[in-house]
């Protein structure tokens, strides 16, 4: 019987060492992502044949696996999938995986060639929006006329009182308060689901200095009006985990987006701004920055009845 553990901040080194071997390209495959959402979507992990395996025991969906990661090869991947299949069968559950990166689908296709029966579908709303770093920092061309205009208006009104500051531990109390206020302001948008953005944001804020991400705030007249967190996902891509701003201040969102890319990740080639979750307003906002790619992910289902045989 497999034993699953909670994801703790103390697991960061273990996970990140495995990610170095794996080579992440999507926002899910990052310790910070896994850690901050672990409580909301009840994610646990185990290690099988030197690969880390996560399972989400959610209220909204049947239990599902994430992409196993580490130094994957055909032998340890097959053994890992067989072991997970046995566990799911013992629990009377159907083995399934969600948000599998495109680059990893071939591992499942290889198993299909050995008569392991998997079917695939695009994971709706889970595709990562990928941007050229230069596009977000320069905002050149007609596509970005609106963004430049919003930033110009913002600076004309607030330029003298505007301050960009990097986040450290001294900001924890203030950011927790602001995050709570943001949640209360948007209470009408909350629904009875597994995902609680406030919990995830609080986990980042409470672990400033312990996670690999960095952050920044925008202050107006000394008061924090926007904050953001992100980190390098791999050698060339910055991943933005959180971006919050006062919606009543025109141009504040594009301003913090631009400044964080410039100051926080000057050497990045690309920026991953995560998925849209099939939320129309979020999709519209992400498309307004003209991504160069929407990096799709896939759900993978075992359609073979009964036990996956060795």
In this prediction, residue 284 carries a pLDDT of: 97
Q: 145-158 vs 252-264: helix axis angle to the nearest 10?
A: 100
User: Is 176 in contact with 202 (CB distance < 8 Å)?
Assistant: yes
In this prediction, residue 183 carries a pLDDT of: 73
b/e code 224-248 from CB counts within 10 Å (16+ = b):
bbbbbbbbbbbeebbbbbbbbbbee
Domains of the chain: residue spans and CATH = 5-127+296-302 (3.40.630.30), 128-274 (3.40.630.30)
CA nearest 228: which of 203, 204, 195, 198? Answer: 204
In this prediction, residue 306 carries a pLDDT of: 47
- Mean pLDDT per 10-residue segment, the chain (310 residues): 96 98 98 96 97 94 97 97 96 96 97 87 98 98 98 97 97 95 60 70 97 98 98 98 96 98 98 97 97 98 64
Longest Cα–Cα distance in the chain: 68
Element at 204 (helix H, strand E): helix 197-206
In this prediction, residue 194 carries a pLDDT of: 52
Cα–Cα distance, 218 to 203 (Å, whole number): 20
């Amino acid at each position: 019987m497999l034993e699953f553990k909670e994801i703790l901040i103390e697991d960061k080194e273990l996970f990140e060492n495995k990610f170095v071997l794996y080579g992440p390209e999507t926002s899910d495959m990052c310790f910070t992502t896994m850690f901050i959402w672990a409580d909301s979507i009840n994610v646990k992990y185990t290690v099988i044949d030197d690969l880390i395996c996560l399972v989400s025991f959610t209220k909204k969906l049947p239990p599902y696996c994430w992409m196993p990661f580490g130094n994957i090869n055909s032998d340890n991947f097959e053994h890992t999938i067989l072991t997970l299949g046995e566990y799911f069968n013992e629990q009377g559950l159907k083995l399934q995986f969600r948000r599998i990166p495109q680059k990893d689908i071939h591992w499942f296709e290889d198993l299909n060639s050995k008569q392991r029966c998997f079917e695939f579908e695009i994971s709706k709303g889970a595709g990562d929006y990928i941007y050229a770093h230069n596009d977000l920092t320069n905002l050149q061309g007609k596509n970005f006329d609106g963004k430049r205009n919003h930033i110009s208006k913002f600076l004309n009104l607030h330029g003298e009182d505007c301050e960009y500051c990097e986040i450290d531990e001294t900001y924890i109390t203030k950011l927790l308060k602001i995050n709570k206020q943001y949640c209360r302001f948007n209470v009408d948008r909350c629904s009875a689901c597994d995902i609680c953005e406030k919990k995830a944001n609080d986990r980042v804020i409470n672990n400033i200095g312990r996670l690999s991400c960095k952050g920044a705030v925008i202050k107006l007249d000394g008061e924090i009006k926007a904050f953001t967190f992100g980190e390098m996902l791999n050698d060339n891509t910055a991943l933005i985990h959180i971006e919050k701003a006062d919606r009543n201040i025109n141009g504040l969102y594009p301003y913090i987006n631009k400044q964080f890319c410039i100051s926080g990740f000057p050497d990045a080639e690309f920026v991953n701004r995560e998925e849209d979750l099939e939320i129309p307003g979020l999709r519209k906002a992400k498309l307004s920055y003209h991504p160069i790619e929407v990096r799709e992910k896939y759900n993978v289902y075992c359609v073979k009845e009964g036990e996956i045989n060795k």
